[in-house]
Amino acid sequence: MSLGKKLIAIVVFLTLFGAPSALRGQAVPTFVGIRTFLGAPYVTKLDDLHADFAVLGVPFDEGTWGQPGERYGPRDLRESSQEYNHDLTEGFYYIDGDRTVLKGKHWADVGDVEVWPTVPALTNDKVTAAVRAILARKAFPIVLGGDHSITFPILRAFDIPLTVIHIDAHLDTWTGAPGNLDHASHILRAAALPQVKNIIQIGMRGLANDPEAVGNARKIHTTVFTSEEIHRSGVASVVGKIPPSENIYITLDVDVLDPSVAPGTGTLEPGGLSFFELHDLLMALPAKGKLVGFDVVEVNPYRDPSGRTAQTAVRLMIDLLGAAFH
């Protein structure tokens, strides 16, 4: 091996394995290293996947009716996740409660799906295939969007009965154009999947939920809890009305959060959930059934130079997983 190759090998080795891991919370400066989610090992071939959690990016925003830029969501979430980059098998420590969650869990970042600009059906097929491969390897899929249309091809990959818990300011049940799949109609499409047995929608509000969307939601028999109901009655009251089910899949549109908390998204709507309202909701939902997968969608870094949207989303992701796997 030449000296140059040896140096490259040493640098690669130190980048992958040499980071100090004694500190929890953050073990390396956030500006160091290659951007995988939480600094997890990058697994480029799904056949080689051996992990509890597999993080998949879907950099796709051709389904949006709002501001584009969600294609950079996976990149932004990975960047913000560096704040919590450490030896992930040590878990995550919370000062409140003096507790550690997710200890001993192995994470992998399996990169982004192959995206074919202007050929969304092909991209969607790649999403379904990637999630199927993750499930076949017995890993838990965590998908980073992308606009909300990506949830449909994810759900398509499951072959077990699912209750979909859809957290969003919007119902996403517009009729849309025949045969289309976009971020405002994907729930209507998902309802037609045989594995989707039940849909619970939480956080809807504002003027974008028109009679057409509400009418369609009623037709497919979703259960809706609005943001206003949470503000007035509290999270616990709403959680108490959610029936238990066998398997739950959670899809989290960050626009459910108030724009003051999460300005980095394409379709802003006032009156959203606070951090703690959403935190408490996500902490409570895993008691309703076995969490089998989730996605975080609609992060748009171009509307949030502060990065707080992605940072908040990453924190909530860890909160949810900690509640689900203990």
CB of 190 to Mn ion, least distance (A): 11
Q: Does 199 bind Mn ion (CB under 5 A)?
A: no
Q: Which helix (H) or strand (E) holds 233?
A: helix 227-233
Instruction: Choose the stretch contacting Mn ion; rule: CB under 5 A; options: 57-65, 93-101, 122-130, 245-253.
Output: 245-253
Residues 132-151 that bind Mn ion (CB under 5 A): 148
Q: Does 296 bind Mn ion (CB under 5 A)?
A: no
Q: Does 170 bind Mn ion (CB under 5 A)?
A: yes
By C-beta, is 238 or 254 nearer to Mn ion?
254
Q: Does 253 bind Mn ion (CB under 5 A)?
A: yes
Among 109, 255, 277, 319, binds Mn ion (CB under 5 A): 255
CB of 183 to Mn ion, least distance (A): 6
Q: Does 189 bind Mn ion (CB under 5 A)?
A: no
As a whole number of angstroms, the distance between CA 290 and CA 325 comes to: 10
CB atoms within 10 A of CB 197: 15
CB atoms within 10 A of CB 112: 19
Q: Does 61 bind Mn ion (CB under 5 A)?
A: no
Q: Does 186 bind Mn ion (CB under 5 A)?
A: no
By C-beta, is 28 or 220 nearer to Mn ion?
220
As a whole number of angstroms, the distance between CA 9 and CA 5 comes to: 6
Residue 98 backbone class (left: φ over 0; alpha: ψ -120 to 50; beta: rest): left
CB of 147 to Mn ion, least distance (A): 8
As a whole number of angstroms, the distance between CA 179 and CA 156 comes to: 16
> What DSSP string describes 128-162?
HHHHHHHHHTTPEEEEEESSGGGHHHHHTT--S-E
Residues 82-101 that bind Mn ion (CB under 5 A): none
Sign of CA dihedral 103, 104, 110, 111: positive
| Site residues (vs Mn ion, CB under 5 A) | 148, 168-170, 172, 253, 255
